[in-house]
Amino acid sequence: MSATAETKPAAAQSPASLARRAADKDIWRSLEELADSGEFRRFIESEFPAIAARLPMQVNRRTLLKLAGASLAMAGLTACSEAESIVPYVRQPENIVPGRPLHYATALSSEGYGIGVIVESHEGRPTKIEGNPDHPSSRGATDAIMQAAVLALFDPDRSRVPLKNGEPAGYGDFLADMAKLSADWAASSGQGGALLVETTTSPTMKAQLEDLRSLYRKLRVYRHDPLAVPAGTAATAKLFGRALAPVYHFDRADVILSLDADFLGEGPGRLAYARNFADRRRVRRPGDTMNRLYAVETTPTLTGAAADRRKAVRPSEVESLAAALQAGLAAAPQWLAAAIEDLVGAGRNSLVVPGERQGPFVHAAAHGFNQRSGAIGTTVDFIAPPDALRVDGDLVALCDAIAGKEVDSVVVLGANPGFTAPADLDVRAAFSRLKLLVHWGLYRDETAQLAHWHVPAAHDLESWSDVSGHDGTVSIVQPLIRPLYGGRTAHEMIAALAGRFDVDAPGLVRETWAKRLDDGAWREALRDGLVAGSAAAPVAVETGTGLTDLKPEPVSQGLEVRFVIDPWLRDSRHANCAWLQELPRPLTKQVWGNAALISPATAGRLQLETGQVVNLAHGGRSIDAPVWIMPGHPDETVTLPLGFGRRTGSVAALAGGFDAYRLRTSDAMWFAGGVTLTARADTARLVTTQHHHAMEGRAIVRRASLDHFRERPDFVRDDVPPAPTESLYPDWPYDQEAWGMSIDLSACIGCMACVSACQAENNSPTVGPDECALGHEMHWLRVDRYYAGPPDDPETLFQPVPCMQCEKAPCEIVCPVNATVHTHDGLNAQVYNRCIGTRYCSQNCPYKVRRFNFLEYQPYGEEAGPEQAAHNPDVSVRSRGVMEKCTYCVQRISEARIHAQVDNRAIADGEVVTACQQACPTRAISFGNLNDKRAAVLREKGAPHSYALLEELNTRPRTTYLGRIRNPGNAAVAAEKGRTDG
C-alpha cells in the first residue's frame, strides 16, 4: 500500500475515495504503533515548548508523541521562524509521512447520540472534523459543536488529575478506593449504591450497566439529562403499546406540519433531516416541485424561519391546536384548517412532526394523524429508542432516595447536576449527605467540586467507545490521540465498579462486539465509521389504546416562559469553548451571552427596551435577565435560553448571560405559566454581531414564492438596474481554473455550521466579549439575518456572506503594498506577511467581508496554550495589524492542485471542497471550477434565479446567490409578489 494512495487531499472527499483511502489502512494498529514510539518529551520541549510546558507532570509519555507530531509539520511548514533544529523520529511509524495528514473515521456524541465524523490528523494531532458521508446522521455534514470538538480536546481548562476531596491524587489511589467500594457492594449486593448516568446509546455501556446490575442486585441506576424529553416515548407507549422513537423521512414528505418542533436545529437527526428537507426545495426550473412546511412554534427557531407558513403561538396553545388536529377541520382555526386540508391532500406523503419538548398529548395527536393519513411507513418510521435504558428514575428520584437514606454512595458519570439540576432540587444538600460521591467528567465542574472523588474523563477524540445514531446505526468511537490529561472512559469507570481493574477501553468495546463482528468486520467498522447494517429496523405499529386517557392541557393565562437550549452551549457543557461562545446565535446574532426574548407587542405593552434588565418570578423563585425584543416571537411569552451563567472555566467566566436553570423547576421543565415580570432600572450589555436588521429596500436577499417563480423564473432581475458591462480595467484571462461559488438561499437554514467550519479550517481567532462589543470579531464568513414584513410576524432571511472574490475587486487597486492581489484562477489572494494594515482594502470593500487583527489576538510561542495544537498547519496564523479574509480555502485549492500536478492531471470537479461547503447540512453551497463545463457549480449559476450581490457596482463577484424561493401556496401569492421590500 503506497502512501500516495493513502492520503488523497483531505478536503475533497467523495464517499468512495474516503472509503478507498481508509480501506488500505489498518487503523487501530497504526494507532498502537504511533503510541509505541513514545520517546518525544525532549522532542516537544525543543520543538513545541508552549505545549510541553503546559502538559501535566505525570502524563503518559505516549501522549506527547501526538502533540509532538505537530512540531514536525510546523518545523517544516509553519514553525517558529527561527526553527533552530530538525528532530526526526527514532522509529518512524508506518504510514506517517511528515507533512501529510491522515484521516480516521469515528463518531462524536451529541446528547448521547452519535454523529459519524472523519477527523483530519497531522502527525497524530487531530486538527479538523468533517462529517462522515456514509453515516446516516451526518451524510457528510457537521454542525458548529462538532467543529469545535478539536478546540475542546486541547482546552487547557480540562480536568487533568484525579482529585480526592479536591486534592490531586493518583489514579491508583482511586482504583484502591473503588476496590473497597466494589468489595462492599459485593457484600451488600450494591445496597445503598447508585449510578447517575446521562442519556446514552452506547451498546457497550448499556451492557456494562446490565452486568453491573446483575452483579449488584440492589444497585440503582438513575438518569439525569437536563435536555431529556420523555414525553415522546410516553406518548408512543400509550398510542402503540410500547415506547418507540420516530425516524422521519422528509425526503418523502410533500406537506409538513411542525407542532413546535425544531427538527432542523434540534435532536440527533437534525443534520440528516435538514439535508432531506432541503433536497425537496432545490428549485432550478419552473417545472420543479417543492415541499411545503407549516410551522407552529412557541419561540422563533430555525425551522420556523425555514417554514413556508409560520404561526407563533403561546406554549399552552399548542395542546389545543393538537386537539383541533385530532378533532379535524371543523374544530380548527382557519389557518390550521388550511394546513390540515393540505396535509390530507398529500395523503401518505404528509407528515406532522410533534415538538420534542411538547407533552404526550401533542405527540400522540401528531402520530395519530400520521397513522390515519398512512404516513407511518412512508414519511415516518418508528424504531426501538436507541437511548432506551432500564433506570430507577431521574435526579428527583435520586434525591428522594438519598433523603430516604436508601442511597449513601453515588457515582456520577458525566452529568453535572450541580449546575443543571431543576431549581426546586437542592442537589448540594442531598449530595452532602452522601458517604461517597464519585464524579467522572471532562471538567472540574460544580458537581466535581462537591465530589469526594473526581476523575478526569477522556474526550470523545481520546476514547474507545461505541454509540448509536438517530436511526440506531452504531459507530465505533476510536481515539485520535492518547488522553492528553490521563482521562479515562466511562467504560473503564464502570469496569472498575465491577471490580475489573485490568481491562482497557478498547478491550471492553471489542468484547461487546465479539459475537457480532469478527476481526475483519471489526476493522471494516472502524474504517467506515459505522457498523454496517446496524440501523434499527422499523417497528410495525398498530393502534393501541389510542388517546382515550390523554387530554390536552388547558390554555394558561398570564405571561408564559418557554425554556430553550442554547444552540451551541447546550446544557452548558460547551460553555468553556471560545469558538462556540463567540459564534453568533442564528436568529439573534448574539454572542457571549443570552437574553430573555419577548415579542415587540409585549415589549410595547410593558415599555421595555432591548438590553433592559427585568426580574422574572415563578413559583417563589426569580432571576434577573436582560430583555431582547425578538421579531416574530409569540406575545405574552418569554423565551429563556439555558446554558449560560457558568462561572467555572476561564472562558465560561468571560461570558455574560444569566442562568435560566434557577427558574426551571422539575414540574415545569420546558414551559411555565403564570410568570410575573417586573422591569428593573438598570440595563445589561448584549453583544451582537449585527446591528441593523432591515434591507432598506435594497435588492440584497431577492426572493419570491414558488408560483411567482413559475411565472417569472428570472424574478431576481425585476426592479434592479442591469449590471454594468463596461470597465476601465482590462478583463483577466482565466486559462487555467476559474473558481466560483454559488449559494442557494432557498436551501440555507442559517445553522451557522459553515461559519464554525471556516473558523476551524482557517485558524480564525476568537477575540472575547469586549472586543466583539467593539466590532472586532474575526469570522471570515458571516450569515446575515434580515427581517422583512411586519415585526410581529416577519419573514426571516438568511444570507451567508463570504468574500465575493470579485473579478473587478475594489480592494485590489487600493492596497499600496500589493498585499491583496488577483490570481490567475480568479481569487483575491490576501498576503498576510505583506500586509502593513492600511485597511484601505476593507474601507473599499462593499461587502465588508474583510477582517482586521486590531490587536494580537493569537498569542504565539511562550504565551500560547495547548489550544494552538488545534491549528491547521496549512494556514498562517495572522499577527497583529494584518488584514485577513476568505480566499475560498486557498490552502485546500493548493493542496488539490499539487496532488493533481504531481499526477500530471487536471483537478477533478468536487476535488476541492471549501470548509463551509463541506460542513453545510443542506448542501446550500456549491463550489468549483467555472472553466470546467461539467462543474456542478456551473449548473447552479446557470439557474434563472442566480444573481450577484450588489452587481450594479460592477465588482463582478465570483460568489453568486440563488434567489430565495418559498412555497406558501396560492393564498399567499399576492402577499409574496415583492421580492426586495426591506
Report the site for another protein in 816-845 (rule: CB under 8 A): 816-818, 821, 823-825, 827, 829, 831-840, 842-844
Is the C-alpha dihedral spanning 13, 531, 107, 589 positive or negative?
positive
- Sheet-wide strand order for 409-413: 167-168, 163-164, 453-456, 436-441, 409-413, 193-197, 220-223
The minimum distance between CB 101 and another protein, in angstroms, equals: 10
The minimum distance between CB 52 and another protein, in angstroms, equals: 14
The minimum distance between CB 759 and another protein, in angstroms, equals: 16
Return the residue of 495, 668, 752, 875 that touches another protein, per CB under 8 A.
875
Give Cα 893 to chain centroid, integer Å: 26
Give Cα 393 to chain centroid, integer Å: 29
Q: Three-class SS of residue 818?
A: coil
User: Residue 626 and residue 638: Cα distance in Å, rounded?
Assistant: 11
Is there binding between residue 727 and another protein (CB under 8 A)?
no
Angle at 114 between CA 485 and CA 576, to 5 degrees: 45
* 76 versus 156: smaller Cβ distance to another protein: 76
The minimum distance between CB 630 and another protein, in angstroms, equals: 17
User: Residue 385 and residue 232: Cα distance in Å, rounded?
Assistant: 10
Return the residue of 856, 942, 975, 981 that touches another protein, per CB under 8 A.
856
- Looking at residues 900 to 939 of the shown chain, list those that interact with another protein (rule: CB under 8 A): 901-902, 904
Residues 31/93, Cβ–Cβ less than 8 Å? no
* 510 versus 892: smaller Cβ distance to another protein: 892
- Find, among 556, 230, 560, 548, the residue nearest to 363 by Cα: 230
Return the residue of 654, 950, 972, 973 that touches another protein, per CB under 8 A.
950
Angle at 33 between CA 28 and CA 34, to 5 degrees: 95
Is there binding between residue 42 and another protein (CB under 8 A)?
yes
| DSSP summary character for residue 578 | H
Is there binding between residue 3 and another protein (CB under 8 A)?
yes
* 159 versus 766: smaller Cβ distance to another protein: 766
**Pairing, β 220-223 against β 453-456:** unpaired
* 16 versus 90: smaller Cβ distance to another protein: 90
Q: Which three cell numbers stand for residue 147?
A: 467543529
User: Residue 148 and residue 210: Cα distance in Å, rounded?
Assistant: 33
* 361 versus 739: smaller Cβ distance to another protein: 739
* 220 versus 850: smaller Cβ distance to another protein: 850
Is there binding between residue 847 and another protein (CB under 8 A)?
yes
Query: Site map for another protein, 45-84, x if CB under 8 A?
Result: -x-------------------------xx-xxxxxxx-xx
* 667 versus 770: smaller Cβ distance to another protein: 770
- Looking at residues 568 to 597 of the shown chain, list those that interact with another protein (rule: CB under 8 A): none
**Pairing, β 465-468 against β 474-477:** antiparallel
- Looking at residues 762 to 821 of the shown chain, list those that interact with another protein (rule: CB under 8 A): 771, 774-777, 782, 784-786, 799, 801, 810, 813-818, 821
Question: Concatenated DSSP letters for 674-716?
Answer: EEEEEEEEEE----BS----S-TT-SSS-EEEHHHHHH-TTGG
Is there binding between residue 281 and another protein (CB under 8 A)?
no
Which residues, 6 or more positions from 61, have their beta carbon under 8 angstroms from its beta carbon?
A: 38, 39, 40, 41
Query: Site map for another protein, 951-980, x if CB under 8 A?
Result: --x---------------------------
- Find, among 105, 110, 109, 102, the residue nearest to 127 by Cα: 102
Tell me the number of residues near another protein by CB under 8 A.
Answer: 112
* 246 versus 584: smaller Cβ distance to another protein: 584
Angle at 883 between CA 730 and CA 761, to 5 degrees: 100
User: Residue 920 and residue 521: Cα distance in Å, rounded?
Assistant: 31
* 6 versus 297: smaller Cβ distance to another protein: 6
The minimum distance between CB 72 and another protein, in angstroms, equals: 7
* 556 versus 690: smaller Cβ distance to another protein: 690
Q: Which three cell numbers stand for residue 568?
A: 451551541
* Cα distances (angstroms) measured from residue 558 to each of 230, 362, 530, 636: 27, 22, 49, 7
- Find, among 475, 493, 340, the residue nearest to 411 by Cα: 493
Is there binding between residue 669 and another protein (CB under 8 A)?
no
The minimum distance between CB 152 and another protein, in angstroms, equals: 26
The minimum distance between CB 925 and another protein, in angstroms, equals: 18
* 604 versus 775: smaller Cβ distance to another protein: 775
- Find, among 778, 797, 779, 780, the residue nearest to 788 by Cα: 797
User: Residue 113 and residue 262: Cα distance in Å, rounded?
Assistant: 17
The minimum distance between CB 579 and another protein, in angstroms, equals: 19
Phi/psi for 348 (5° steps) reads -70, -15
Query: Site map for another protein, 520-549, x if CB under 8 A?
Result: ------------------------------
The minimum distance between CB 832 and another protein, in angstroms, equals: 6
The minimum distance between CB 730 and another protein, in angstroms, equals: 13
* Cα distances (angstroms) measured from residue 409 to each of 182, 209, 399, 469, 515: 11, 17, 12, 32, 34
Residues 469/268, Cβ–Cβ less than 8 Å? yes
The minimum distance between CB 127 and another protein, in angstroms, equals: 15
- Looking at residues 85 to 114 of the shown chain, list those that interact with another protein (rule: CB under 8 A): 85-92, 97-100
Is there binding between residue 11 and another protein (CB under 8 A)?
no
Return the residue of 200, 358, 891, 967 that touches another protein, per CB under 8 A.
891
Residues 560/671, Cβ–Cβ less than 8 Å? yes
The minimum distance between CB 955 and another protein, in angstroms, equals: 8
* 520 versus 733: smaller Cβ distance to another protein: 733
Task: Tell me how crowded residue 843 is: count the other CB atoms within 10 A of its CB.
Answer: 12
Query: Site map for another protein, 695-724, x if CB under 8 A?
Result: xxxx-x------------------------
The minimum distance between CB 884 and another protein, in angstroms, equals: 11
Give Cα 222 to chain centroid, integer Å: 27
Is there binding between residue 731 and another protein (CB under 8 A)?
no
Return the residue of 186, 898, 971, 975 that touches another protein, per CB under 8 A.
898
- Looking at residues 424 to 443 of the shown chain, list those that interact with another protein (rule: CB under 8 A): none
* 98 versus 674: smaller Cβ distance to another protein: 98
Is there binding between residue 611 and another protein (CB under 8 A)?
no
The minimum distance between CB 857 and another protein, in angstroms, equals: 9
User: 211 pairs with which residues across the strands?
Assistant: none
- Looking at residues 681 to 700 of the shown chain, list those that interact with another protein (rule: CB under 8 A): 690-698, 700
* 447 versus 876: smaller Cβ distance to another protein: 876
The minimum distance between CB 604 and another protein, in angstroms, equals: 23
